[in-house]
Structure 1
């Protein structure tokens, strides 16, 4: 029995609950159908009890779920005996950050839209350090170092030799022009994102000041694609704490939002030209 399920374990449990509810079953009825106790159903749906691939397929069959792609996507979320690298930071950093790293590790692709800063996966060491130094709630030097090393390790998904995660970043001109850490750090940061944009799996786009107001301009959005659309996740980094969104209505809202943001963004080549122009002004 798990006392503190991870975000991925909680999501799997929530998806099992959705399957049961779509089948029109109460937890008691589901337990009878599966030949287990009602509290076992509740514990699986709360992420407190693991589910094997065979058990999950049995559950999907008993719940009359005919979406094979969804079932196999859920099977892929069943417990992995290997501990992810992020577990090294448990007790050192907030659990939400560990859940974010796990989400990124398993994502099929990632999309980010940022207004005021460069997305975390594209930040340089010096840029990220300055961001952490400016945190609203002051961080101790050790915590800054933990967060810094954690952020750099997260970026490894973009450097994998086998199957690097496809990544698209839409960055507002305001973030490109903000001299975080001074002009030297800012210039190095811009050069870094230019270099990263040359990688085949990374797409870099920008929104210029001339666009004016646009949908979603007041927030940073991070969208992780799962193996099927139902298993996508939206991550919002808010001042009062991060939020993971995964209801059907929420996912559709942010898919539409990304489409509208993308419609006003420059293409990759014009974005690189803009960045070169900003660098010349530093």
Structure 2
């Protein structure tokens, strides 16, 4: 097996899921290695994501661990082999690994659910809006750094319209619609794009109006659905980068948070009406 020198979030997640399977089965890594016919270090390296593992080997490990959830096992098997190479690879030397992992995760997600308060969701931003937001970064970004980030953000949006478009639900607070980044012209352009994107069959745009209370108002939340629920991932967008959460209890917590936010949001039709009114006042 070839040892990896750098790991993606997806590779680490596969190893973590295989470790969870082994632990639920009650095997030590030494016992699991014996069933697989190799040294203990092989299991440790696979679970750490340092060794690539084939789909057949994942199925063999799941069989050894008496995992009868075929959908889950096949979802794990689909994560094997070499990492997916995509447009995001060109940004590897420019951005922190978390941003690269974010693009790859969005690419593989079967559905995306996002909630934001102050900013328009990245997958719905115009280039001009994104640029204006990034000009407020602390510490300040150089002009070329801003342009790299803008191009990266726009390319991420392909998941909404290329191939089989990913189902996307965006919960946006009214405050984000009224922030006015970039001035009146940029704000109007952004609101117009929101209305257009909200008409896509795969996009559901919901607005929480002022006056409605809701949880988790201080952070951006992205819930990326995997091929099975066990492989879902939550991304928290913070000032110091992306934080990825996949513990079952935390996934359940953020599902509940998003459910409560959706319950406080206007319907898609009333959300569009509110955006129209704000655009007319801008």
What TM bracket, shorter-length normalisation?
over 0.9
Normalised to the residue count of structure 1, the TM-score between the two structures is: 0.97
SS of the equivalent of 2:211 reads helix
| Match in the other structure for 1:120 | 122
Kept in 2, the 8 Å contact 1:127–1:189? The answer is: yes
2:143 paired residue number: 141
Query: Distance between the aligned counterparts of 2:246 and 2:61, measured in 1?
Result: 21
Alignment correspondent of 1:15? 17
> How far, CA to CA, are the matches of 2:125 and 2:240 in structure 1?
22
Is the 1:93–1:146 contact (alpha carbons within 8 Å) kept by the matching residues of 2? no
Distance 1:19 1:11 in 2: 12
SS in 2 for 1:209: coil
Give the CA deviation at 1:81.
Answer: 6.2
- How do 1:1-282 and structure 2 match up within 5 A? 1-80=3-82, 83-160=85-162, 162-211=163-212, 213-282=213-282
Which structure 2 residue ranges, 5 or more long, are not aligned?
Answer: none
Q: C-alpha deviations, 1:26-53, integer Å up to 9, x for none?
A: 1111111111111111111111111111
Q: Following the alignment from structure 1 to structure 2, what is the Cα–Cα distance between the partners of residues 194 and 230? A: 34
CA contact (8 A) 2:11 2:83 kept: no
Q: What secondary structure, in the 3-state scheme, does the structure 2 residue paired with 1:223 have?
A: strand
RMSD, matched Cα: 1.0
Displacement over 4 Å in runs of 4+: none
CA-CA distance at 1:274 after TM superposition: 0.1
Q: Secondary structure at the match of 2:35?
A: helix
